[in-house]
């Protein structure tokens, strides 16, 4: 009889936790699951931990963040560890049943967006800023794409919308978006975007601004040389990105012959950018 009551309690706690979770599809965030590195972050769970060590007792909780599959697996692992390691002290013997029930409550594989929002806010990340919209981009990434489009458009437009520079800028913008943008949407974004201004760079860190300037120089050299008009635009855009004209001229000189591996390596050393820095680093996280 006692076993049936215990099973009934466990089932009831699991059902309550399952019903408290979101029954809809998991949210799509622009953050990759830290465990599998394949699926996006979809949920978060706060699970208790109890360890009994004869006269020593440990009690606490951890937040698990990731895709639903990985988080559910981690909750199960934590449940087993608590079951085998929690009883071995007087306080642990009393606390372990409650901790196990709390773990069972979080066993549902459904997403838990409420807890996910709390965890993201705790680390200073707005849930809305990383939530992907229908176009496959989060609001933060979209703002960054607009800024990139403004910079690349300013340089490419010098030679016109049918030039090699414009085509290179469009392809670079697609690469920056991780192929979220298409040729059509990238071209439309470049045509419609407002001119880049100094205030637009507020959401970009220094390395992102440096890489964007480097891509802008690549755009200017798409036809094999940099014209006087393109150089003037590069100096203007570079200043709006927050860089000194001497540094901009040095970069133009180093990269004007094309983006060879040697030139890129020299530019990275000059700028203090990591060797692995690439075009994709300008996008947001």
pLDDT for 160 equals 92
The pLDDT-based confidence of 10 (bands split at 50, 70, 90) is: confident
Structure tokens at 252: 């133009």
Nearest Cα to 211, choosing from 170, 154, 262, 255?
255
* In the chain, domain spans: 2-130, 139-282
Quote the CA–CA distance of 124 and 182 in Å, as a whole number: 31
> Each residue of 137-190: pLDDT tens digit?
777 778 888 889 999 999 999 999 999 999 999 999 998 888 888 899 899 999
* pLDDT of 265 over the 70 cut: no
CB burial class (10 A; 0-12, 13-18, 19+) of residue 134?
Answer: exposed
The pLDDT-based confidence of 85 (bands split at 50, 70, 90) is: very high
CA atoms within a 13 Å half-sphere pointing along the CA-CB vector of 72: 14
How many Cβ atoms from other residues are within 10 Å of residue 269's Cβ? 10
Quote the CA–CA distance of 105 and 76 in Å, as a whole number: 11
- Report how far apart, in Å, the C-alpha atoms of 247 and of each of 22, 44, 208, 231, 279 are: 52, 45, 16, 13, 20
> Each residue of 28-48: pLDDT tens digit?
888 899 999 999 999 999 999
* DSSP code per residue over 76-131: HHHHHHHHHHS-SBHHHHHHHHHHHHHHHHT---S--HHHHHHHHHHTT--HHHHB
* pLDDT of 9 over the 90 cut: no
Quote the CA–CA distance of 5 and 57 in Å, as a whole number: 28
The pLDDT-based confidence of 103 (bands split at 50, 70, 90) is: very high
pLDDT for 274 equals 52
- Report how far apart, in Å, the C-alpha atoms of 61 and of each of 14, 44, 100, 182 are: 19, 13, 12, 44
pLDDT for 259 equals 44
pLDDT for 268 equals 45
pLDDT for 270 equals 46
Quote the CA–CA distance of 180 and 186 in Å, as a whole number: 9
The pLDDT-based confidence of 135 (bands split at 50, 70, 90) is: low
How many Cβ atoms from other residues are within 10 Å of residue 138's Cβ? 24
- Report helix, strand or coil for 243: coil
> Each residue of 182-229: pLDDT tens digit?
899 899 999 999 888 888 777 788 888 888 899 999 999 998 888 999
Nearest Cα to 207, choosing from 270, 282, 149, 143?
282
Structure tokens at 275: 């060797």
pLDDT for 64 equals 95
The DSSP code for 171 is H
> Each residue of 57-84: pLDDT tens digit?
888 999 999 999 999 999 999 999 999 9
Mean pLDDT calculated for residue range 11-15: 88
Quote the CA–CA distance of 158 and 155 in Å, as a whole number: 6
| pTM to 2 decimal places | 0.63
CB burial class (10 A; 0-12, 13-18, 19+) of residue 155?
Answer: buried
């Amino acid at each position: 009889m006692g076993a049936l009551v215990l099973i009934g309690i466990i089932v009831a706690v699991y059902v309550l936790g399952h019903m408290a979770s979101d029954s809809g599809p998991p949210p799509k965030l622009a953050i990759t699951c830290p465990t599998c590195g394949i699926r996006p972050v979809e949920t978060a769970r706060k699970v208790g931990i109890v360890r009994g060590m004869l006269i020593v007792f440990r009690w606490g909780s951890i937040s698990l963040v990731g895709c639903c599959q990985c988080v559910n697996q981690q909750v199960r692992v934590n449940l087993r560890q608590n079951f085998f390691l929690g009883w071995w002290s007087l306080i642990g013997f009393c606390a372990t049943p409650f901790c196990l029930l709390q773990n069972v409550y979080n066993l549902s594989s459904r997403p838990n967006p409420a807890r996910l929002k709390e965890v993201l806010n705790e680390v200073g990340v707005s849930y809305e800023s990383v939530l992907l919209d229908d176009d496959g981009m989060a609001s933060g990434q979209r703002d960054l794409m607009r800024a990139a489009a403004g910079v690349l458009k300013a340089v490419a437009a010098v030679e016109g919308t049918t030039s090699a520079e414009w085509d290179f800028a469009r392809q670079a913008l697609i690469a920056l978006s991780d192929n979220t943008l298409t040729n059509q949407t990238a071209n439309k974004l470049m045509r419609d975007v407002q001119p880049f201004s100094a205030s637009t760079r507020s959401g970009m860190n220094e390395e992102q601004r440096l890489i964007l300037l480097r891509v802008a120089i690549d755009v200017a050299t798409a036809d094999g040389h940099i014209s006087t008009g393109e150089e003037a635009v590069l100096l203007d855009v570079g200043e709006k990105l927050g860089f000194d004209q001497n540094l901009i001229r040095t970069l133009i000189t180093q990269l004007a012959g094309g983006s060879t591996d040697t030139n890129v390596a020299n530019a990275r050393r000059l700028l203090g950018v990591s060797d692995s820095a690439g075009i994709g680093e300008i996008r947001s996280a």
